[in-house]
Chains A and B, each alone.
Chain A
Amino acid sequence: MNFNSGKWTPEAIRALIDEEKGALDPRIYTDQELYELELERVFGRSWLLLGHESHVPNPGDYLTTYMGEDPVVMVRQRNGSIKVFHNQCRHRGMKICRADCGNAKVFTCTYHGWAYDTAGNLVNVPFEEEAFSGFKKEEWGPMQARVEIYKGLVFANWDPEAPDLLTYLSDATPYMDTMLDRSEAGTEAIGVMQKWVIPCNWKFAAEQFVSDMYHAATTSHLAAVVAGLPPEKDLSNFEPHMKGHQFRAKWGGHGCGFYIDAARGSVRVGPIVDKYYSEGPAYEKAKERLTPLLPYHRMGASHMTIFPNCSFLPYGMNTVRTWHPKGPDQIEVWAFVVVDKDAPEEIKKELARQNVRTFSAGGVYEQDDGENWVEIQSALRGYKSRTAPLAMQMGLNVLGKNNPEFPGKTSYVFSEEAARGFYSHWARMMSEPSWDTLRPQS
């Protein structure tokens, strides 16, 4: 990687994010050259969420997805491990697999018939003896990515120099565990990916989930609240909750926000799922398991992003998604739902149904998010729109909001501390060529 060519020198990139003033340059959402650098330096070097291990339960089960814009296949192996390899034949560059998911013994390129086993080894080349001389199949398999699993979530990374996943997740894991480690049984994904296209930059979505409880407590989701209220109630008694915290990971750009001591969440998840998450044996078990890490019983609705593009909503909303970049001004949302593996069947069904109602393409919450991001992207077509910095100052010099009951650095729930963490890590990934300086200092 050459970090000193073109207009985006390391200095120019660092100048886009002013953490001390809390300002960011809108060109990070629009510039095609920056986007190309993101594919190489962010998506080519970070741990990226591909799915849940339960998406591929049996040997040969696969799903096709993307790392940045590179297509990959994620396959369960006979020995139980998961492999991720480039979904591209090394002969003429055709996709090896063109289905979304399924079960395969072998992947055969439909162009010239090169065949790969489920580990991604090139095992058959038609007319190899007649047409080639000394062709080495073992040298022409697809590129393999590193794969690691954190409590059911499957991540992959192209970069052999990148730190292992646990180091990469830094001190964010206790907050991930509020969704992933409530039970010793772990979680499972319910059903398949829902996919949709939003014409906006991927960072709007990732940043909202890392750092923005503000929109939920103000204007964005009033309609969704109405949708979740019992018929006899309306918004006249609605008061947003104001107590909670935001967490900024000490390394890596991850973050989350959460309410504490809030009213129960039936508006968001419906009364049945709310009950499961607020009382009874599953709740007690989660409390017991997680309390050594954080005061789980005090937390409520929360939002989280693992840098760069993995986001989720714990506490029964349980949507997990990858914001796949598709150019500086487009994403595909690939979302699925997780649930405690040992939850009763009726809870799993109800949670999945509530998720479709709330946080899905047609969800009463989700549809209003997409509207915001699309209109911002549209406004940023303007020249003047791209010249004035955007404000990211919430929490700057707001002192005394760190709550030592919660792990890591915390601030007030309506803050942009985690957004500043996200963008400053983005600027580091974009401007520092070596893991020698990037990796967390232990």
Chain B
Amino acid sequence: MSYDLRLKQGEIKGMEIMELVKPFKWAESSSSLELQHEIEQFYYKEAQLLDHSEFVEWFELMDKDIHYWMPIRMNRVGREMSQEYAPQGKGAHYDDTYETMRGRIRARVSGVNWAENPMSRTRHIISNVIIREMEEPNTYEVASSFIVYRNHSEHQADIFPGERRDVLRRSEGGLGFKIARRTILIDQGTLLANNLSVFF
């Protein structure tokens, strides 16, 4: 399976898959301590919402133009490593807009989402936060690492490690930021779990 990136360039809007393979483009000078603190606190509070099943409140952190995307990763030979990630629209574990995320949240809190009733126990550990201020004022591109642990039913234990590449916008009220884009780089090719009924 080969992607001719030159031909497909026009299709790949938003984050280019080439960018995902490379390290996050950090700024030459670090962000201020205050901004670093604010954004880390935002992530910790977000994790609290997810780990305590406050999904409606968590969804309120999404901006209306959210693209919530987890592209599929593949085993590729070295010379084709630039094609490790499936481009947008060519295979994903999540590829959601505000509207489809709203549907997911409604399902999640419906009481009849049997994969999550009885509910899983999850833990979102967020670290390695690097912030880059974008040209647009009050907008930040942020890389962070996560480990999401899920314990389900009696013996099921899943570990999902990975990296998030977010675009955050400052907002009035709430937790101080909205998530405008979340790209999730999961450190698995074949998902080692029976489903992805957790959010990242």
Contacts and interface: CB of A to CB of B under 8 A. Distances in A.
Interface residues of A, number: 58
B112 A226 contact: yes
Interface string A373-391: 1110010000000000000
B86 to A, nearest CB: 5
B196 interface: yes
Interface stretch (A79-87, A133-141, A160-168, A353-361): A353-361
Nearest to B156: A374
A198 B75 contact: no
10 contacts: A99-B75, A100-B1, A100-B75, A101-B1, A194-B91, A198-B194, A198-B195, A361-B191, A364-B113, A366-B195
B9 to A, nearest CB: 15
B170 interface: no
B196 A361 contact: yes
B2 interface: yes
Given A56-B1, A362-B197, A191 B86 contact: yes
B76 interface: yes
A352 interface: yes
A103 B3 CA distance: 10
Interface of B: 1-2, 70, 72, 74-77, 80, 83, 86-87, 89-96, 100, 102-104, 106-108, 110, 112-116, 153-156, 189-197
Contacts of B197: 362, 367
A258 B106 CA distance: 27
B190 A368 contact: no
Say what secondary structure dominates the interface of chain A.
Answer: mixed
Contacts of B154: 378
A310 B196 CA distance: 22
A194 B107 contact: no
Contact of B75 (A98, A103, A228): A98
B195 to A, nearest CB: 4
B103 A364 contact: yes
Contacts of B96: 356-357
B74 A192 contact: yes
In the complex, which of the residues B72, B192, B194 has the most CB atoms of chain A within 10 Å of its own CB atom?
A: B194
Given A362-B196, A368-B113, A194 B1 contact: no
Interface stretch (A21-29, A170-178, A215-223, A277-285): A215-223
A56 B2 CA distance: 8
